[in-house]
């Protein structure tokens, strides 16, 4: 009886690991396929980096920084008790 139970357990474990392996293999293949399709249709124009000119214009204004500082100070004062 114990060997039957062990056999069923090993078969179930092998089936589960095989299913996970097959799914992950399929996921890698589909991801690589999608990546090649996207790179083919975008002509390499999007490389994931922002232009440096956009970074400088995204800085918050002085009054926004002051409001954030006041909010942090008030939060710390309220929660330090």
pLDDT at residue 19, rounded to an integer: 98
- Rounded to whole angstroms, the Cα distance separating 1 from 29 reads 42
Beta-carbon contacts of 68 under 8 Å, excluding residues fewer than 6 positions away, are 60
**∠ CA(64), CA(66), CA(72), 5° rounding?**
105
Q: What pLDDT does 80 receive?
A: 83
CA distance 25 to 19: 10
Tokens 């710390």, located at residue: 76
Residue 2's pLDDT is what?
77
Q: What is the pLDDT at residue 1?
A: 73
pTM for the structure as a whole: 0.48
In the numeric block, the tokens 């999608």 are attached to 34
Residue 29 has which token pair? 């293949």
Residues of the chain with pLDDT under 50: none
């Amino acid at each position: 009886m114990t060997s039957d139970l062990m056999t069923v357990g090993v078969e179930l474990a092998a089936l589960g690991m095989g299913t996970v392996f097959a799914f992950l293999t399929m996921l890698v293949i589909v991801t690589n396929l999608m990546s090649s399709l996207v790179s083919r249709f975008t002509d390499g124009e999007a490389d994931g980096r922002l232009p440096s000119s956009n970074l400088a214009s995204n800085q918050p204004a002085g009054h926004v920084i002051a409001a954030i500082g006041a909010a942090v100070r008030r939060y710390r004062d309220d929660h330090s008790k």
